[in-house]
Amino acid sequence: MMRPVTGYRSPRSVLAAVLAVVAVTASTVLAPYTAPAAAAGSDRLRLVALSARPELVTADDVLVTAAVPRGQPLDVVRFTLNGADITGSFRADANAHAFTGLVDRLRPGRNHLVATAGPQRDQLVLTNHPATGPVISGPHETPYVCTTDRFRLVDGGTLGDPLDADCSVATRVDYAYRSTGGKTLPLPDPAARPDDLAWTTTLTGQTVPFLIRIETGTVNRSIYQISMLHDPATEEPAFHRRSPGWNDRLIYTFGGGCRRGWYTQGTNTGGVLDPKMLGRGYAVASASLNVFGNNCNDLLAAETMMMVKERFVERYGDPLFTIGWGSSGGSYQGHQIADNYPGLLDGIVVGQSFPDVTSATNFTLFDSRLLEHYFTEVAPDTFSQEEQRQVAGFRRWESIRNLSDGAKRLDPVAEFPAVLPAELRYHPQTNPRGARGDVYDHTVNVYGRDPATGFARRALDNVGVQYGLAALNSGAITPQQFLDLNQGLGGLDIDAKPTAQRTAADPIARSAAHRTGRILFGGAGLAGTPIIDYRSYSDDAANGDIHMMTHGYATRARLEAANGDADNQVFLVEDNRFGGFSLTSPTLRYALTSMEEWLTAIVGDDSRLSAHQKVVRNKPGDLTDACWSRDAEPRKIVQRLTADNAGECGQLFPAYPTPRLVAGAPLTDDVVTCHRKAVDWSDYRVTFSPAERRRLLEVFPSGVCDWTKPGVGQRPLRDTWLAFN
């Protein structure tokens, strides 16, 4: 069952809204507990949970702030939890006229926190969930393999065996350092500084030794890590005592992949030791279930990120803002968490981007599998390589086979994590009750189960799709080839086996995909989120590549459709000389610096403009769409990037369509099931013979896709902060 929690905003924005703030300077904002300082204009006592929504608290504790009216003495303020006095858990800030405290020892379920100040009173109902989850993602997946004994720490050791069936470990802290030789090394003795220790100056101007504190633990059956600059010779950082090396900002990294991303805890995070991030003073956090190669489910990724960020805030304080950072499978998470669970991420920098898994990606992989099967098994030697490429739309013919292989994520027997024992894996004949290794069964809590099979319902459809339509109209293929192709292409059954019939989506799964945000909407939290989309161009990769320019344009088209414009999104494109998504690229470093400037300006904007308007108004003046030439010394070319490949950037880095777009689908690429219409002969720029006309009507007995209409059951996102149980 799905339930929404409506209107969520981050704790900082809640405080800004409920307290009458005359002005907040940048320096005030950067100070610890700046939000309660706004209490100067408040006329009533107000409790605000800083680290989590009150309904979604985890692990028995929550960081809370209380803004006290200026006319009320602080020494009369009292706090109780479930009737017991806990005033001693709170720290007073006389300048802010506020209290902040870590409320711990919460009991499972509902807890009542009450603050009183003379005649004034406020309360929070705190619902406490276990640290092992689940909270919003629904029942845990089974089987599930713990991998704490394979997770490598900075010194090369592992976390050892798990403490329980939920893959938990004791939280630990390790230290590393950056050497003058440019390496990150384990710190042998926290009490001694190595001779080759480097120093760094953070973006807030603090010059500190490049000593890195790394916290490792588990939440939500996931291994998380949090790193920041901190000298172990000084006091441990805490929510009331910031490390001098921390710049008060958090980067949350998301790892890529998808294939084999189920039934395992994973042995890596999105990375927390990037020297350029840490050197600027950022805290960096990630978790193993925020790597899509371990967990290809954006809902579970959002839940995990929510819980890790809660733990971060409780231990280190509320960051000024949080930047989401990830490429490929990491871009799914950035887009969908920002849209579906607003408040967790304040801005995102994505690379090699896709809107989501369910639509553009799965549609393209599904179509590629069908085309590859048709061209090699059904009708070999009937289409030249160039004719095949024209039907597929890709820049490289090799992409057909490459993406067909990528369709293994749709196949329940094709790929499993190596740690999952063979006897637990699904096989239709030998183990029909085993674990199915595909994206739909991994997201069964959203899609539901087909009662006839017990397997996950699928939001996958190609009924009415006229494959190769644009190739036919351009003269690249003949009417005979077009008819043969569409008659013989077929679909895939529940086990991803070719069928003569087209594949029809399950109506329940289709509705869920649209209404729950599994298909990116773009008009919820993402409308008020700064987005920098960096692409290391790979459409021309020799063996084909899934990371195509058109997917970035699909996201932009969805933003425009939902919000009227995509002015909160910026494209930066260059060639692949830096090997993908790496801060060795000056362009990506520029993206990080620009996002920092953008978000800092938004934080200082106390206007009553909408979130989208604030984002657009505060975008740095020099931050615009741009590409970089392919010269040895690349030059920046400023122009708006568009899917029609206009201008110099369009010539340097052209976008190519997918098979679904060649068939006439809209650039948004978000239609699961198309509305169908009767064949309209004016849609074709070729002449069909009478016999060919009759055959075309036979091939599409229920009509062909009418791409001028939204998809069947296509509706906007139902609400943000949906939970599943």
Domain ranges of the chain: 46-129, 148-319, 359-408+435-516+660-705
CA distance 356 to 337: 11
- Residue 351 pairs in a beta bridge with 327, 534
pTM: 0.94
**For the domain with range 46-129, which CATH number is right: 3.30.1950.10, 3.40.50.970, 2.50.20.10, 2.60.40.10?**
2.60.40.10
Work out whether strand 491-492 and strand 222-229 pair parallel, antiparallel, or are unpaired.
unpaired
Residue 126 DSSP symbol: E
Q: What are the backbone angles phi and psi of residue 217, rounded to the nearest 5°? A: -165, -165
Q: Are 286 and 254 in contact (CB under 8 A)?
A: yes
The DSSP string of 195-236 is TTB-EEE-TTS-EEE-EEEEEEEEETTEEEEEEEE--TTSPP
CB atoms near residue 77 (< 10 Å): 20
Which residues, in sequence order, are CB contacts of 654 under 8 Å at separation 6+? 395, 539, 549, 645
Pick out the chain residues at pLDDT < 50: 5-41
CA distance 555 to 351: 13
- How is residue 245 written in tokens? 């090396």
> CA triplet 190, 191, 195: central angle to 5 degrees?
85
- Residue 326 pairs in a beta bridge with 254, 350
Dihedral, 366, 370, 371, 375 alpha carbons, nearest 10: 150
Per-residue confidence (pLDDT) for residue 330, from 0 to 100: 98
CA distance 297 to 485: 33
CA distance 332 to 78: 45
CA distance 152 to 159: 7
Per-residue confidence (pLDDT) for residue 1, from 0 to 100: 56
CA distance 202 to 229: 10
Count of helix runs (H) and strand runs (E) in the chain: 19, 29
